[in-house]
Amino acid sequence: MLSVRNNGAMPTQMPVAGELLTWARERSRTPVAALAKKFPKFPQWEQGTAHPTLKQLEGFAQTTRTPVGYFFLPRPPALPLPIPDFRTRRNDEILEPSPDLLETIYACQQRQEWYRAFAVATGEGTVAAVATVPPGADITETASRMRAELRFETTQRGSSWGEAFRFLADNAEDIGVLVMTSGIVGSNTHRVLDPDEFGGFSLVDNYAPIVFINGADTKAAQIFTLAHELAHIYSGQQGVDDSTPHAHANTDVERWCSAVAGEFLVPDAELAAGDAIDLGPEALDALAARFRVSTLAILLRLRDTGFVTGDRFRTAYDAELARVRRLAAERKSSTGGNYYNTQPARTSKRFARALISDVLEGNTLYRDAFRMLGLKKQSTFDKLAEHLQVG
């Protein structure tokens, strides 16, 4: 922290430009009311009619997760995403990624760098699925190939959405894709990732491809996101996505990945062989349960395959969207579950096993492993190693 000695005088005010404060507020997604509650003069700070003290500025920087040095720049810095941005549903007023999203990408990139070196050193070889299907390839053939290689036919999805997601994630890891699922930044339970900002992202690499899934989203949405990001891995095109089936894709790559994900999860041939199309809530719930997707994804597949068109689709979709939002608002937040089950999923089980094994062999420092795994104690590391049956 910066320090200023003023020999008992009134605290020195810092003439920070309101533009910088507005930029920090918007990129952190912190409501004005919340900031005004913590810093009563915040509206005046933004307007330039008052200024924070150094202590208040440091507190504001911590609240908005902004390095305090940025407030002494002449204008807001450009902090773009390090990978392509395919999102379409973000707030038009927010032009930059949040600190939460950036830090999550950076952490995954560090893990990817480590795992790539590990894979090369141990002779793992490249991951066969990476960049083997050009974007624009036949959607049905691509989806069929993915279902076969990922062992995710409609009869292989378990008895719940949670079970289906675990099956798909584990099978993706079996073919070499590192799947990381978390609803928080690192291990900080106070920094919850916002599903409205992003659903997931992919980092393409021949040795260490990564798919990150926003675990704060619904389980049905996570399944679609995972399928969508795997399509990105197969096509060799990385990026950050909404990954919701109803997002309006703005590039050919996104439209193709969404179409592949839809066909992968809800095959056209199986819909054609199904029951007569009923758009009531019970019928939609039944189809969603059968394929382990959301009811909105079902409606969009019915539209894309020509079963439902025009006004009938729009009326049904609007009604179902309202129902889904109502149910989501009523849903109670779930507990975090068993730590030793959730923590490996946050960093990828495959990654965690490799890193712990390398530490025990003396090739990687405990300090570096603790940072990449989000651990603080040796005892936690030892228990995690035992849970993953490493060592």
How much is the pLDDT for 352? 96
- The residue among 72, 56, 60, 62 whose CA lies nearest residue 32 is 60
Determine the residue type at 99.
P
pTM: 0.89
How much is the pLDDT for 165? 95
Q: What percent of the chain has pLDDT over 90?
A: 67
**What are residue 183's phi and psi, to 5 degrees?**
-105, 5
pLDDT band of 89, cuts 50, 70, 90:
low
pLDDT of 277 over the 90 cut: no
| Euclidean distance between CA atoms 386 and 378, whole angstroms | 12
pLDDT of 10 over the 70 cut: no
**143 burial class (0-12, 13-18, 19+ CB within 10 angstroms)?**
buried
What DSSP assignment string belongs to 173-213? HHTT-EEEEESEETTEEEEE--TTT-SEEEE--SS--EEEE
Determine the residue type at 249.
A
Helix (H) or strand (E) holding 241: strand 239-241
How much is the pLDDT for 335? 54
How much is the pLDDT for 266? 94
How much is the pLDDT for 274? 56
pLDDT in tens, 354-376: 999 999 999 999 999 999 999 99
How much is the pLDDT for 8? 55
- For the ranges 28-37, 202-211, 260-269, the maximum mean pLDDT occurs at 202-211
How much is the pLDDT for 345? 93
How much is the pLDDT for 247? 61
Query: Looking at per-residue confidence, does 93 or 122 come out higher?
Result: 122
User: What ranges in the chain are assigned the alpha helix state H?
Assistant: 18-28, 32-38, 42-47, 54-63, 99-122, 139-149, 161-174, 219-235, 252-265, 268-272, 281-291, 295-304, 310-330, 339-347, 349-360, 366-373, 378-387
What mean pLDDT do residues 157-163 have? 90
Can you give the residue ranges of every domain in the chain?
18-72, 99-109+122-330, 340-387
Q: Give the count of beta carbons closer than 10 Å to the beta carbon of residue 154.
A: 14
How much is the pLDDT for 304? 85
